[in-house]
Amino acid sequence: MIRTALAVSAGKLARAVLNRAGRGATALPGLVALAVDPRALASLTESLEHGAVCVSGTNGKTTTSRMLSDIVRAAGWAPVHNRSGSNLDRGIVAALLASSSWTGAPRGNVGILEVDEATLPRVLAGMAPRVVVVTNLFRDQLDRYFEIDALARSIAAAIVMLPELTTLVLNADDPIVTNLAQGHRGPVSYFGVDDPRAGGTVAQSISDATRCPRCRAPLQYRRVVLAHVGDWSCPGCGFHRPERDLAAASVDMSAGATTIRIAGASAVLDSVTVPLPGLYNAYNALAALAAARVLGIGLPTATRALASFRPAFGRLEIVEADGRTLRLMLVKNPAGFNAAIGALLETGRKPRLVAALNDRDADSRDVSWIWDADFESLAAHVEHAVVTGLRSRDLALRFKYAGVDASRLEVVDGWKEALLRAIAAAGPADEIVVVATYTAMLALRGSLADMGYVGRFWED
Amino acid sequence: MDLRVMHLYPELMSIYGDRGNVIALQQRALWRGIEVEVRSHSAGSTLDPEWADLYFFGGGQDQGQDVVGEELQGPTGASLRDGIAGGAAVLSICGGYQLLGHEYIPEDAPAIPGLGVLDVRTTAGKRRFVGNLVVEGEDGVLVGFENHSGKTYLGPAARPLGQVLVGNGNNGEDKTEGAVQGKVIGCYLHGSLLPKNPGLADRLISWGLERRHGPVTLLPLDDGAESAARDQAIGVAKARP
C-alpha cells in the first residue's frame, strides 16, 4: 500500500509537471508509477466496485471501449477509461492515476481499459479483469508484432492463467479469436454477425488464417466478411464458429448510420442504430453490447447510449473547415483500410481524398502493407486525391499501380499545404475524406487545430 | 505477346505486402501492350511445369512455411525445378528465398531441405533483422524493408543480388544481400520490392518473355513516380535505418 501510494504520487507528480509544460500527459506518468510499483495495475484496479474490462484486438478497440464507456455512464456508473488511446501498460496506468486520489483510491467505479494487443499478455498477467473483450486479430505492423500466430499464442497463454471470475467476450466470426477460449476456466460470451447479406463467398487476399488454428487443415467458409472473419468451419478437426450469445440478425447501412437487429441465443431482442457507417462498426457495437450484458447492464440502457455515440480521434470524426466537411479515417493495416474503404464505397460516394502515409514506429515502419490493401476497389471511384506524409511517394505509387490516373493525383509536401490544397480543390458542398496512419493523422489534426478547425484530441 | 505469371501459395506465403510485386509485373507488362495472365498455385493442387514464364514466391508465417516446405519435397517441387530448367524466371522473397536454397538449419532440430535451385543455405539466427535495407545492385540501387531472423550464406554458384549500403541483408556479416543464379532471384527485400525498383521488375519481365518469345526489348515507361518513391525511401533509410 505504501509502495502503491508512493508510485501514485510519483506518477501524479510527473503528470502535474507535464500538464504545466502544456504537453498532453498520456503515458509518462504511468511509466514512472510502474517503475516504482510493478504491481500498480493490480493495485489501481482491484478496488473498482464493478471491476475492470480490458478491450483488445487489432481493429476496433478504441471505438468499442468508447462505446462501452458511454454505456456504463448511461447506467449511472463512473468509468475510469484511457480515452486518449494511450493503450500500452504505462498509458493504462497513467489513465488510472489521473482518476485516483493521491493514496491510489479510484474516483470511478468501473475500469474500461483499451489494451494494445501486443501488450495484452503483460496486462493480463498484472491484473484480474472482470471481462476481457477481443474484437479481432489481423495482421498489423508486422515489424513490431511479427506474426499473428505467435501473438495469438502469447495471448492464449495469458488467458490460461486468468481466474474463473473473468468472462471472455470474443468474436465468434474470427477463428483466431475464438481459439483463445480453449484453455479458459471461466465463462465465454460470443458475438457475431448472422446477416447472410454481410460479406461474400470469396476469400480475400489479405487472409491471415486460411488454416485451422488447431489442426492446420484449410478452413471452409460459407461466408467471408473481411479477411479471415466470417462463417467458418474446419473440415479437419470439426472446430467451428461457436453459437453466438449476441448476434446481429441483420445489419442495414446508410451513409452515416448502421442499424442492427440484435438477436440473443434464442430470440430477437431489440434493434439499435449507431451513428457510424460501416459493417466493422456493427462488430464494435456488438462487442460493446456483449460486454455490457456481462456487466449486467440492460439492453435498453445500452442501445440508448449507442444511439448518441460520438466517434474517437480519427475514427470517422467530422471536422468542418471552410464550409467543407472533412471526415477523418485512421488506417493502420490492410484489414482496417479495406473496412474503411468498404464503408466509404457502400454509400456510392465518389470520394475526394487526403491520403497520408507515415512510417514512424506507431504507424508501422514497413510500408509494405499498402500493397495488401485493396486500393484497386477504390481506384475507379476516386474523384481527386492529395497524397502526403513521410512516405507520400510510396502511397502515390500505390495509387498509380491501382489505376488512378495522374490527373486525379497530386503529391503535396507539408501537412497544412496538403489540407489547403484539398480544400481549395473541393467545391463548397463537397466532403473530403482524410485517410491517414496514426502519426500522420496526429500531424494533420494538429494542422487543422492550428488553422482553428478542431481542438487537440487529449482535451477530449 | 503475352506473359504468364504464377503466384506460388498466395494464401500461405504472402504476408508482407509481397503481392505488390505481382501487381507491378502485371501493370508494367500491360502498360506496354503485353497481355498478362496471373494464376495462383495453392497447396495440394498440381503444378504444370510448362505453363509459367515467371514465378513469384513470397514470405509466410512459420505455419505456412512448414506446409509449403513439405509440399516442395514432393511432385510440386519437381515440377517447379523442371519449369526453372525450362527457362522460367523466379523472384522469391524472404521465406520463399529460404525454401529455394539447399536447406534451412533450425537452432536445435534437424535441417529442413529446400528445393536447391539457389546455392544458398540458411541458419536460424538469434537476432531478428528488422529495418530499411538499401543495396547497390548490378542495375543500380535497390531499396526495401527486411524482416527476418534466418541468416543466409551464398555458395559459389550463386552471386549476390547486391552489396548492402544500409541494413543487414543476407546475414548481417558479409554485406551481401540476395542471390542470383541463372534466372532465379532470391532476396529479403519487402516494400513491396518491384514497384519502386522498376529496373529489376523489367529485368524479370524480359527474362519471363524470353522463354516463349525469344529475346525482347521492352519499350521504356515513364518511371518518374517510381524514381520519386525510391529516392524518398532511400532518404528515409539513410536517416532512420
Q: Which of A218-227, A230-239, A297-306, B28-37 is the least confident region?
A: A218-227
Contact present, B151 and B125 (Cβ < 8 Å): yes
Distance, CA of A374 to CA of B19 (rounded, Å):
11
The model's pLDDT over A409-423, given as tens digits with 9 standing for 90+, comes to 999 999 999 999 999
pLDDT-based confidence at residue B48 (cuts at 50, 70, 90) = very high
Max mean pLDDT range (A26-35, A91-100, A343-352, A380-389): A380-389
**Beta bridge partners of residue A55, listed in sequence order:** A114, A133
Q: Is the pLDDT of residue B195 over 90?
A: yes
Distance, CA of A331 to CA of B36 (rounded, Å):
32
Q: Is the pLDDT of residue A307 over 80?
A: yes
Distance, CA of A377 to CA of A342 (rounded, Å):
9
Q: For the purposes of burial, counting CB atoms within 10 Å of the CB of B225, is it exposed (0-12), middle (13-18) or buried (19 or more)?
A: buried
Q: Is the pLDDT of residue A455 over 60?
A: no
A156 vs A452: which has the higher pLDDT? A156
Average pLDDT over residues A397-402: 97
A19 Rama class: left (phi>0) / alpha (psi -120 to 50) / beta: alpha
User: Residue A366 catalytic?
Assistant: yes
Identity at B197, one-letter amino acid code: N
A chain contacts of residue B225, beta-carbon cutoff 8 Å: 393, 396-397, 400, 406
B131 Rama class: left (phi>0) / alpha (psi -120 to 50) / beta: left
Name which of A396, A401, A411 is nearest B23 (Cβ-Cβ).
A401
Instruction: Count the Cβ atoms, other than its own, within 10 Å of residue A391.
Output: 25
b/e code B20-43 from CB counts within 10 Å (16+ = b): bbbbbbbbbbeebebebebebbeb
List of E strands, B96-161:
103-105, 112-113, 120-137, 140-154
Chain A interface mutation, best of B130, B187, B193, highest count of A Cβ atoms under 10 Å = B130
pLDDT (0 to 100) of residue A157: 95
Distance, CA of A119 to CA of A282 (rounded, Å):
25
Max mean pLDDT range (A312-326, B104-118, B217-231): B217-231
Distance, CA of B4 to CA of B25 (rounded, Å):
10
Q: Which three cell numbers stand for residue A121?
A: 499478455
pLDDT-based confidence at residue A8 (cuts at 50, 70, 90) = low
Phi, psi of A247 (to 5 degrees): -135, 160
Which domains does chain B possess?
2-124+151-156+178-218 (3.40.50.880)
Q: Return mean pLDDT, chain B.
A: 94
CB pairs under 8 A between A and B: 107
pLDDT (0 to 100) of residue A200: 63
Whether ipTM exceeds 0.85:
yes
Omega within 30 of 0 (cis) for the link into B192: yes
In SS3 terms, A270-281 reads as: EEEEECCCCHHH
Q: For the purposes of burial, counting CB atoms within 10 Å of the CB of A101, is it exposed (0-12), middle (13-18) or buried (19 or more)?
A: exposed
Contact present, B134 and B238 (Cβ < 8 Å): yes
pLDDT-based confidence at residue B98 (cuts at 50, 70, 90) = very high
B→A interface, C-beta within 8 Å: 10-12, 14-20, 23-24, 27, 43, 61-64, 67, 128, 130-132, 145, 147, 190-192, 195-196, 225-226, 228-229, 231-233, 236, 240
Domain range summary for chain A, segments of one domain joined by +: 52-88+112-307, 315-459
**CATH fold label, A52-88+112-307:** UDP-N-acetylmuramoyl-L-alanine:D-glutamate ligase (3.40.1190)
Contact present, B119 and B100 (Cβ < 8 Å): no
Distance, CA of A124 to CA of A139 (rounded, Å):
21
Contact present, A118 and A87 (Cβ < 8 Å): no
Cβ neighbours of residue A20 under 8 Å, at least 6 residues apart?
A: none
Q: Which of A22-31, A283-292, B95-104 is the least confident region?
A: A22-31
SS3 B75: helix
Say which CATH superfamily domain A315-459 falls into: Mur ligase, C-terminal domain (3.90.190.20)
List of E strands, A64-177:
79-81, 110-114, 131-134, 167-171
Distance, CA of A363 to CA of A376 (rounded, Å):
22
Distances (CA, A) of A286 to A159, A279, A339: 22, 11, 16
Q: Is the pLDDT of residue A21 over 50?
A: no
Q: What angle do CA A290, A296, A297 make, to 5 degrees?
A: 75
Cα–Cα nearest to A354, from A386, A382, A383? A386
A chain contacts of residue B131, beta-carbon cutoff 8 Å: 143, 365
Instruction: Quickly count helices (H) and strands (E) in chain A.
Output: 16, 17
Distances (CA, A) of B176 to A193, A356, B93, B182: 50, 34, 15, 18
Contact present, A135 and A58 (Cβ < 8 Å): yes
Average pLDDT over residues A353-363: 93
Cα–Cα nearest to A137, from A124, A123, A122, A150? A150
The model's pLDDT over A186-230, given as tens digits with 9 standing for 90+, comes to 999 999 999 988 876 544 554 555 788 899 888 898 888 887 899
Q: Return mean pLDDT, chain A.
A: 85
Phi, psi of B129 (to 5 degrees): -90, 110
Q: Which of A366, A405, A450, A460 is catalytic?
A: A366
- Sheet bearing A324-330, strands edge to edge: A315-321, A324-330, A431-436, A352-356, A384-388, A409-411
**Beta bridge partners of residue B231, listed in sequence order:** none
Cβ neighbours of residue B127 under 8 Å, at least 6 residues apart?
A: B149, B172
Chain B interface mutation, best of A211, A401, A412, highest count of B Cβ atoms under 10 Å = A401
Compute the Cα dihedral for B136, B138, B144, B149 and give only its sign: negative
Q: Which three cell numbers stand for residue A16?
A: 502535474
